[in-house]
């Protein structure tokens, strides 16, 4: 009780603070009343017009911030952005956004732009009319109209666009490996699961760090690797709609095959033994130290891992492989949501301002702004050689602190690299971009992102926990096959079957199926 009291009093305080905040901001911008239900009405035509002259539009935002210290308002970069877009930004950035978000949502006092996270409560909020539907505005934009259809589909509730997606590559899972070791052992990049196993085994059984002991692991991965491993054996990308049924990967024989493979890796000490308890961030040290040969991660980690490994050992280098072919010979890769939450506009924001806000994010993708976000300021963060932007190494940290973390990542309204001026990327960055593009055509999307299930909303945590725990226990040997199948059955009866049915109903409602 103490806990929930504290949470409630926190929300009260927060609500109080927020109301103070909006009270202040509403002095500068008085008209902010709107009927919540008007969130449905479309207003496409009235939006993006040539009103770029005139008074700058004040826009307040709650953003997710992963950096160290958010730059003060009125810094040079923000001034450039404000001038170009004719706005006046009032940004509140939070490092622990995930913790605060449910409370912020409950407080009911909103900025003009609120970062919304991919949680069931967000869908619930959209359904109750808390945010504007952005879909009608996209057509009249220059850049935002080009979202990948899957990203868009994954961002809708009942056909309404939750907000401007904070885009992220749709496919990004990869295996980062120590290239110097592969060269040393004369190994080529694996193309199927059998070669993958041999590759990992070679790493695990050779004394690669030369300390006379076999203490190197073939693969470092955290527990979220389970879905991918089973996917390699032909299991669905978490869910699959097939023959009029929604099928969760957990219930398929392919999933069990994948788990058996993982168990083999654990038993032969190829997979790092603390895979089920240690988080990915903690594993970075293990990879850096050379205690592991391959790390399962997303493509955007290639650069960071490469830099860390090279800093430790000048002869080391990394590369990544994608392992597209599963044991059934199909070429495929797991599609993800394609976004990391949204930039949503609360329905208390007046209609005429919605267009301007969309216009603002559209403008951040114009070449001039995108170049600023990707490369920084010319002459300060990069030079131009032969028409290509070439980053200045000494300014790299400054770019990270003043542009990438405070503006580029929290906005992410498009993949800014696609809109920025051409330039010379660091070899690891280039590799990541290449992989993201190469893999896209083999994507198998997870079909449930746009679908809904009330049971999942209520019991999802419990149900997912059953799956996770049973899988980990099976791989660790604490559960045999019969025990695992009993857990699958328990998942079904506890609510899994109901969830599947509800997803199917929701799918049929959207696609007009039988």
Partner 1 sequence: MARNSMTLAKEPLWKSILRDRWLYVLLLPGLLYFIIYKYLPMFGLIMSFQDYKPMFGVLKSPWVGFKHFERFFSDPSFFMLFRNTLIIAFYNLILYFPFTIILALLLNEVTHMKYKRVVQTVTYMPHFFSWVVIASLTYKLLSTEVGMVNGILELMGYEPVNFLTSAQWFRPIIVFQGIWRDLGWGSIIFLSAIAAIDIQMYEVAIVEGANRMQRLWYVTLPSIKGTIITILILRLGRFLDLGFEQIYVQLNAMNREVGEIFDTYIYTMGVVGGQYSYNVAVGMFKSIIGIILVIGANTLAHKLGEEGVY
Strand partners, 331: 325
Decide if residue 124 touches partner 1 (CB under 8 A): yes
Site string for partner 1, 169-208 (x = CB under 8 A): ----------------------------------------
Task: Give, as ranges, the residues between 231 and 270 that touch partner 1 (CB under 8 A).
Answer: none
C-beta of residue 82 within 8 angstroms of C-beta of residue 88: yes
Selected binder of partner 1 within 61, 130, 238, 504 (CB under 8 A): 130
Of 125 and 247, which has the nearer Cβ to partner 1? 125
State the nearest-atom distance from the C-beta of 497 to partner 1, in Å: 14
**CB of 183: closest distance to partner 1 in angstroms?**
28
Decide: 254 and 227 in contact? Cβ < 8 Å.
Answer: no
Tokens of 503: 């997803």
Phi, psi for residue 192 in degrees, rounded to 5: -140, 180
Stretch that binds partner 1, among 163-171, 245-253, 464-472, 481-489 (CB under 8 A): 464-472
- What's the CA angle centered on 275, arms 269 and 280, to 5 degrees? 135
Neighbouring CB atoms inside 10 A of 361's CB total 23
Q: Is 121 in the site for partner 1 (CB under 8 A)?
A: yes
Among 84, 120, 269, 401, binds partner 1 (CB under 8 A): 120
CA distance 273 to 52: 58
Judged by CB under 8 A, the residue of 396, 473, 501, 510 near partner 1 is 473
d(CA 62, CA 129): 19
The answer to whether residues 452 and 503 touch, using CB atoms and an 8 Å cutoff, is yes
Rule CB under 8 A: say whether 58 interacts with partner 1: no
Q: Which stretch binds partner 1 (CB under 8 A): 50-58, 228-236, 368-376, 462-470?
A: 462-470
Distance of CA 239 to the CA centre of its chain: 18
Q: Regarding beta strands 87-94 and 57-64, do their DSSP bridges make them parallel or antiparallel, or are they unpaired?
A: parallel
Query: Is residue 494 part of the contact set for partner 1 (CB under 8 A)?
Result: yes
465 touches partner 1 by CB under 8 A: yes
Cross-strand pairs, 443: 333
31 binds partner 1 (CB under 8 A): no
Residue 361 · residue 343 · CB < 8 Å: yes
Q: How far is the CB of 132 from partner 1 (least distance, A)?
A: 13
CB environment 379-391: b (16+ within 10 A), e (fewer): eebbeeeeeebeb
Determine how β-strand 443-444 pairs with β-strand 333-334.
Answer: parallel
Q: Work out whether 223 is an interface residue with partner 1 (CB under 8 A).
A: yes
Nearest to 504 by CA among 445, 443, 456, 432: 456
Task: Give ∠ CA 86-92-93 in degrees, rounded to 5.
Answer: 115
Nearer to partner 1, 321 or 474 (CB): 474
| Among the listed residues 57, 276, 299, 325, the single contact to partner 1 using CB under 8 A | 276
If DSSP codes are grouped into helix, strand and coil, which group holds residue 61? strand
Q: How many residues bind partner 1 (CB under 8 A)?
A: 44
CB nearer to partner 1: pick between 98 and 379? 98
Shortest Å, Cβ 469 to partner 1: 4
C-alpha–C-alpha distance, residues 342 and 348, integer Å: 17
Give min distance, CB of 166 to partner 1, in A: 19
Closest distance to partner 1 from the beta carbon of 492 (Å): 13
List the interface residues with partner 1, window 285-344 (CB under 8 A). Answer: none
Instruction: Name 385's bridge partners.
Output: 388
Which residues are at the interface with partner 1 (CB under 8 A)? 1-5, 7-9, 12, 36, 98-99, 102, 105-108, 119-121, 124-125, 128-130, 223, 273-274, 276-277, 457-458, 460-462, 465, 468-469, 471-473, 476, 478, 494
């Amino acid at each position: 009780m103490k806990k929930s009291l504290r949470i409630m009093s926190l929300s009260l305080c927060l609500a109080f603070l927020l109301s103070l905040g909006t009270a202040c901001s509403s002095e500068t911008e008085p008209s902010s009343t709107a009927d919540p239900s008007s969130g449905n009405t479309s207003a496409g035509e009235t939006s993006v017009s040539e009103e770029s002259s005139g008074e700058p539009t004040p826009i307040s935002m709650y953003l997710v911030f992963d950096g160290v210290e958010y730059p003060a308002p009125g810094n040079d970069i923000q001034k450039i952005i404000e001038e170009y877009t004719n706005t006046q930004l009032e940004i509140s950035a939070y490092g622990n956004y995930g913790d605060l978000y449910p409370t912020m949502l409950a407080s009911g006092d909103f900025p003009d732009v609120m970062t919304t996270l991919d949680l069931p409560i967000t869908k619930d909020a959209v359904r109750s009319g808390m945010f504007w539907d952005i879909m009608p505005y996209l057509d009249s934009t220059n850049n935002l109209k080009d979202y990948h259809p899957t990203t868009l589909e994954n961002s809708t509730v009942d056909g309404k666009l939750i907000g401007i997606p904070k885009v992220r590559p749709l496919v990004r899972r990869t295996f980062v490996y120590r290239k110097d070791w592969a060269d040393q052992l004369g190994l080529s990049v694996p193309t199927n699961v059998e070669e993958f196993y041999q590759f990992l085994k070679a790493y695990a059984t050779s004394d690669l760090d030369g300390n006379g002991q076999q203490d190197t692991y073939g693969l470092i991965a955290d527990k979220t690797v389970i879905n991918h491993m089973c996917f390699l054996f032909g299991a669905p990308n978490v869910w699959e709609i097939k023959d009029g049924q929604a099928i969760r990967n957990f219930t398929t024989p392919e999933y069990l095959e994948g788990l058996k493979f993982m168990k083999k890796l654990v038993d032969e000490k190829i997979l790092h033994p603390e895979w089920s308890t240690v988080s990915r961030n903690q594993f970075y040290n293990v990879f850096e130290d050379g205690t592991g040969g391959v790390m399962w991660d997303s493509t955007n980690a290639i650069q960071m891992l490469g830099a860390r490994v090279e800093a430790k050992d000048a002869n080391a280098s990394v590369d990544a492989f994608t392992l597209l072919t599963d044991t059934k010979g199909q070429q495929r890769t797991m599609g993800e949501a394609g976004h990391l939450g949204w930039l949503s506009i609360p329905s208390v924001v007046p209609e005429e301002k919605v267009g301007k806000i969309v216009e603002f994010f559209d403008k951040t993708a114009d070449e001039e702004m995108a170049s600023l976000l990707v490369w920084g300021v010319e002459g300060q963060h990069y030079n131009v050689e032969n028409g290509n932007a070439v980053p200045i190494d000494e300014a790299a940290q400054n770019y990270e602190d003043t542009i990438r973390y405070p503006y580029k990542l929290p906005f992410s309204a498009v993949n800014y690299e696609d809109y920025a001026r051409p330039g010379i990327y660091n070899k690891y960055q280039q590799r990541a971009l290449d992989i993201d593009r190469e893999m896209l055509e083999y994507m198998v999307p997870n079909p449930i992102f746009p679908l809904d299930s009330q049971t999942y909303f209520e019991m999802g945590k419990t149900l997912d926990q059953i799956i996770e725990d049973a899988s980990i226990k099976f791989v660790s040997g604490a559960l045999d096959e019969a025990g695992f199948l009993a857990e699958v059955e328990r998942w079904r009866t506890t609510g899994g079957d109901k969830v599947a049915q509800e997803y199917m109903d929701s799918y049929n409602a959207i696609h007009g199926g039988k």
